[in-house]
Amino acid sequence: MPENTEEQFRPECLRCHSPMEFLGRRSYQTSRAVMPDSFLLYRCPTCGKVEFFEFIVDDIQCLECGALIKAGQNVCPECGWTWENETA
């Protein structure tokens, strides 16, 4: 997602229909592959309702073999490359 896109996206509160404000991107550790590990947090300044939106990352190309790694996957399906290999 390009820089500042989160602030430009202003969802409407489902409760009172006011524009919601962006509070930031939050991350957490999860052991379930189906759960997102990052989400966007918005709050309605009028009624206080909070909404979470999944942070969607585009598919990337493997730095090792060039294969396509689907968004949400942590390991290259072709060669097994991971970001952990890069930071080790």
Q: Looking at residue 2, what is its pLDDT? A: 42
For residues 67 and 58, the model is more confident at 67
- Tokens standing for residue 83: 């970001």
- Report the C-alpha gap between 71 and 65 in whole angstroms: 17
Q: How confident is the model at residue 1 (pLDDT cuts 50, 70, 90)?
A: very low
Q: Considering only the top CATH level, what class is 1-56?
A: mainly beta
What are the sequence ranges of the domains in the chain?
Answer: 1-56, 58-88
Q: Is the pTM of this model over 0.75?
A: no
Whether the pLDDT of residue 56 is over 80: the answer is no
